[in-house]
Amino acid sequence: MLAYALARPLLFALDPETAHGLTIRALKLGLLPPAPADDPILATSFAGLALPNPIGLAAGFDKNAEVPDAMLRLGFGFVEAGTVTPLAQPGNPRPRMFRLVEDRAVINRLGFNNAGLDAYAARLRARAGRPGIVGGNVGANKDATDRIADYVRGIAAVRDHVGYITVNISSPNTPGLRALQSRDALAELVGRSMEARGAGGVPLFVKVAPDLTPEDVADIAEVCGAGGADGLIVSNTTITREGLRSRHAGETGGLSGAPLLARSTAVLRAFRQATPLPLIGVGGVASGADAYAKIRAGAGAVQLYTGLVYGGPGLVAKIKRELAALLRRDGFASVADAVGVDA
- The residue ranges that bind ligand FMN (CB under 6 A) are 58-60, 63, 82-83, 97, 106, 108, 110, 137, 168, 171, 207, 236-237, 256-257, 260, 282-285, 304-307
Residue 139 Cβ vs ligand FMN, minimum distance, rounded to whole Å: 7
Task: Report the SS3 class of residue 125.
Answer: helix
Out of 45, 170, 171, 182, which one is annotated catalytic?
Answer: 171
Which amino acid belongs to residue 114? N
User: Looking at beta carbons only, is 80 or 216 nearer to ligand FMN?
Assistant: 80
Q: How far is the CB of 192 from ligand FMN (least distance, A)?
A: 19
- Is the backbone of residue 27 left (phi > 0), alpha (psi -120 to 50) or beta? alpha
Minimum distance, C-beta of residue 161 to ligand FMN, in the bound complex (Å): 18
Residue closer to ligand FMN, measured from CB, 293 or 332: 293
Q: Shortest distance, CB of residue 129 to ligand FMN, whole angstroms? A: 26
Whether 264 is catalytic: no
CA 31 to chain CA mean position, Å: 24
Position 162, amino acid:
V
Which CB sits closer to ligand FMN, 236 or 275? 236
| DSSP 8-state secondary structure symbol assigned to residue 95 | P
Nearer to ligand FMN, 41 or 167 (CB): 167
Q: Which run of H or E residues covers position 116?
A: none
The helix/strand count (H/E) of the chain reads as 12, 13
Nearer to ligand FMN, 71 or 106 (CB): 106
* HEC per residue, 238-258: ECCCCCCCCCCCCCCCEEEEH
Using CA atoms, how far residue 228 sits from 50, 66, 131, 135, 159, in Å, is 20, 31, 27, 18, 16
**Distance in Å, CB of 80 to ligand FMN, minimum:** 7
Among all residues, which ones are annotated catalytic?
171
